[in-house]
Amino acid sequence: MKSELRTPEWQAVWIAVCAVGIITIIRVWLLIITPLQLYPDEAQYWWWAQHPALGYFSKPPLIAWCIWLATHVFGRSVWAIRLASPLLHAGTALLVYAIAKLLGGRRLALWSTLAYATLPGVAYSSGLMTTDVPLLFFWAMALYALLRALEERGWRWTAICGAAIGLGILAKYAMLFFAVGLLLAATMSVKIRKFVFGRRGLLAAAIGIILISPNAYWNWHHHFLTFGHTAADADWRAASFSVSNMLYFMAGQFGVFGPLLMAGFLIGLWRLWTSDQRSETELLLAVMALPPLLAMLVQSFISVANANWAAPTYISATPLAVMVLMEAPWALLGSLVVDVAAMLLLWLVLIWPGVAGALGQANAFKREEGWRQLGQTITAEVRSHRYNVIAAANRSLLAELTYYAPSRRVPLRAWEKNGVVANSFDMTMPLSRHDSHVLLVLLPQEVGAVLPSFESVRLVRKLQIHVGGGITRTVMLFEARSFKISPRP
């Protein structure tokens, strides 16, 4: 055993595991000590986890299941809600090692693992529990299983690939880009084409379909709510066809992936396009990286796209970029230094959020501050008066109140705009005519639309909550009586 541990292969694996392990331990520790509070989406996912289901209004169910498991083991603390994030990112980093080893050996694998674990996007994402986290893990698992299945004749890796695709779709529907990339790769490779359209491809597809069928049934039973919401996020009705939006999105990719790694990835794609000498593995990784990136580039031109929407690209883009940068060691080392410096700076912000304000980046963290103060104020107000319900019109406020102002005696209700069900709160807890004495929690811009819905209203107080960097969140509390408009038909 000792002789095995001295071999270069075991040394590379050991270094990769230790590096990822140390980074992950620090990330978990930071989750425990950070004063930053739940992001509105995280609060919503936590609320979903209190009601386990096969699907939810805006997302597939896996994110809620992960939070349900973590909080049932470790309690309802903020760090427990986020715990799965650094752990899954650690698993993804090790899967990137396995993928890169198949592409170019253990040296490429080690550098790729270090590069992925310190990516700016991963460093930021590890402090939040989002749908991208399990998506990236299962994308990496599916890609590694696919590479192994193409080299082996058995059914094991094919089954794992199908299961990973199915679970990835249950994390986020962007996993469907994996199937698009696979079909595109099948047009370029005989081996891949035989796999995709042969018995093993059918097995992988069948396993994936079986896994997602409960969520598909839930969507069918609920008039395809999640699919419809996902399409609505694209917002093509408000098409702007903006080149500047597209350039802004692409610039964001240099930030998410790291500037030198992004440059290496683009150089690698160019070489693949212009060269006749390329391995099938290299070609497959490039093709699998392109669908989410190109789709979101088009989306950013038509309407708008967030920088993280192309995140699956960087599973296979990482080893491709590192392979290019390894030809210039200064560039590879420089990339790692830049990314580690950004990661350390982010860690500092997690300990002292005021650092973000000092650097002019308070806006990036303002939605993780001030919620506890709001919850305490509302809880005190509810205790001192006989309200029937607490109500809000804003999804973010509703989500945060489920966590920071819980009350068994006074339920939370959603005020719907024009009877349109725009989120899961509108769907499951709408305000009704029976809610006669309401504590309204409103943003200033909502006052004009909401207050006419009641016979009488009285301003209780106007909260000015400082969230860092000179930014203030204004929330207005009203005592409202006799809800007179029932928005839902």
Percent of the chain with pLDDT over 90: 81
Q: What is the mean pLDDT of residues 190-198?
A: 95
> Is pLDDT of 2 > 60?
no
Distance from C-alpha of 43 to C-alpha of 21, rounded to nearest angstrom: 27
Q: What is the mean pLDDT of residues 3-17?
A: 74
Q: What is the mean pLDDT of residues 457-467?
A: 95
Residue pLDDT, tens place only, 97-136: 999 999 999 999 999 999 999 999 999 999 999 999 999 9
The whole-chain average pLDDT of the chain stands at: 92
Q: Of 165-169, 181-185, 278-282, 401-405, which gets the smallest average pLDDT?
A: 278-282
Confidence (pLDDT) at 489: 42
Residue pLDDT, tens place only, 331-370: 999 999 999 999 999 999 999 999 998 888 888 899 999 9
Query: How many residues would you count in the chain?
Result: 489
Q: What is the mean pLDDT of residues 476-486?
A: 87
Backbone angles phi, psi at 195, to 5 degrees: -70, -50
Confidence (pLDDT) at 274: 86
> Is pLDDT of 138 > 60?
yes
Q: What is the mean pLDDT of residues 144-152?
A: 95
> Is pLDDT of 486 > 60?
no
Confidence (pLDDT) at 232: 66
Confidence (pLDDT) at 174: 96
Confidence tier at 419 by pLDDT (50, 70, 90): low
The residue among 133, 205, 206, 212 whose CA lies nearest residue 169 is 212
Block residue for tokens 């590192």: 322
The residue among 371, 487, 344 whose CA lies nearest residue 42 is 371
Dihedral sign for Cα 109, 113, 116, 118, please. negative
Confidence (pLDDT) at 4: 42
Residue 142, token pair as written in the block: 């599916």
Confidence (pLDDT) at 291: 96
What's CA 399's distance to the chain center, in Å? 17
Residue pLDDT, tens place only, 245-299: 999 999 999 999 999 999 999 999 999 988 877 788 999 999 999 999 999 999 9
- Pick the residue with more confidence: 159 or 433? 159
- Pick the residue with more confidence: 419 or 353? 353
> Is pLDDT of 47 > 80?
yes
